[in-house]
Amino acid sequence: MPTLKVSLLQQPLVWMDGAANLRHFDLCMENISGRDLIILPEMFTTGFAMEAALQSLPEEQVIDWMHHKAQQTQGMIAGSAALQTELGPVNRFLLVQPDGKVHRYDKRHLFRMADEHHHYQAGEDRLIIEWRGWRILPLICYDLRFPVWSRNRNDYDLALYVANWPAPRSLHWQTLLQARAIENQVFVAGCNRVGSDGNGHHYRGDSQIISPQGVILASTDAHLATRLDASLSLHELQEYREAFPAWQDADPFNL
């Protein structure tokens, strides 16, 4: 069964400067090869700015860049961007394959403490995509706090969380990532930014890749701009779920 080679790019973001951020990630990905999935933080072209969608790069330009990186690395490139769309401004998770296929998930839970719900349209659809034999659930930052939205209905193997999660609540980030892995019996990859933003918020990173048993497979020092790698085994996941089938007793939820 397929092994998925995952990389997280825990990096600082230049405030409201799409071109500068793309140049930075160009350098980050210059020597990456042999990875199946490369994950960038939330709003990787702007930082977590409420006005970002009105001043951001066009979606087509962001997708073209991601497609180029996917072709270069032969992996899927994933990360969210603030975009202006026909539906209005959205915080959109884009996942772009080397063949140019694009998957889109719009952030469901908007962070009201920053008035995100006054500036962006909330998504309505939960998305599962298939990539190289894996079923993947993409989610964004504040979504992590809502376990019903993350509930594994026996329909995914890996959950991705991209974030601009501030340092004062880092314990929540780390604890909830492990909880989502354990309760759903799936792998979890959480990619957070580092540095400071234009609003004076600071970010530790604390990006992690976690096993279905809650074991941290990859992590790094706080505040460090770096890349995290892990190889995930679908065979090990399925063996564990068969040996400890807690998923069979999960309560149903309807949204």
Per annotation, catalytic residue among 28, 69, 116, 141? 141
Angle between helices 18-28 and 59-73 (to 10 degrees): 10
- CA max distance for the chain: 51
Which residues are within 8 A (CB) of 10 and not within 5 positions of it... i.e. 6 or more apart? Answer: 41, 191, 192, 193, 194, 205, 207, 220, 224, 225, 226, 227, 228
CA distance 18 to 30: 18
Spatial distance between the Cα atoms of 73 and 57, rounded to a whole number of angstroms? 23
CB atoms within 10 A of CB 118: 9
- Spatial distance between the Cα atoms of 135 and 198, rounded to a whole number of angstroms: 36
Catalytic residue chosen out of the listed positions 69, 107, 116, 191 = 107
Neighbours of 163 (CB within 10 A): 26
The one catalytic residue in 42, 69, 116, 191 is: 42
Asked if 141 is an active-site residue, the reply is yes
Give the up-direction half-sphere exposure of residue 60: CA atoms within 13 A in the CB hemisphere: 0
- DSSP per position, 200-237: S-EEE---EEE-TTS-EEE---TT--EEEEEEEEHHHH
Q: Which residues are catalytic?
A: 42, 107, 141
